[in-house]
Amino acid sequence: SEVPFLAGAKETLSDKTLKGIIFELDKKDKNYGSIVDQLNGFGLSIKGEYQVPNEKTLFNIIFYKVSPA
């Protein structure tokens, strides 16, 4: 699950050299909103969503670091 991964990846997700990450997420999962919110909190925003073939709610989601203005 992504939840334990996020808990253990705080240092990596905070790294200023990180440019992006991809997650396979089920939009119907009870943790979906929390996962996206946590990634947003690390400065990552959704840049693309690609539905997994034959899976109505499963998506490969690309997150990129938001560049400071």
- The pLDDT value recorded for residue 3 is 87
Dihedral (Cα; 2, 4, 8, 11), 10-degree rounding: 40
Are 25 and 32 spatial neighbours (Cβ–Cβ below 8 Å)?
yes
What 3-state DSSP class applies to 42? coil
What is the per-residue pLDDT for 1?
A: 73
Kindly report the pTM of this predicted structure: 0.88
Neighbours of 36 (CB within 10 A): 18
What is the enclosing helix (H) or strand (E) of 48?
strand 44-51
pLDDT band, residue 69 (cuts 50/70/90): low
Q: What is the pLDDT of residues 16-53, one digit of tens each?
A: 999 999 999 999 999 999 999 999 999 999 999 999 99
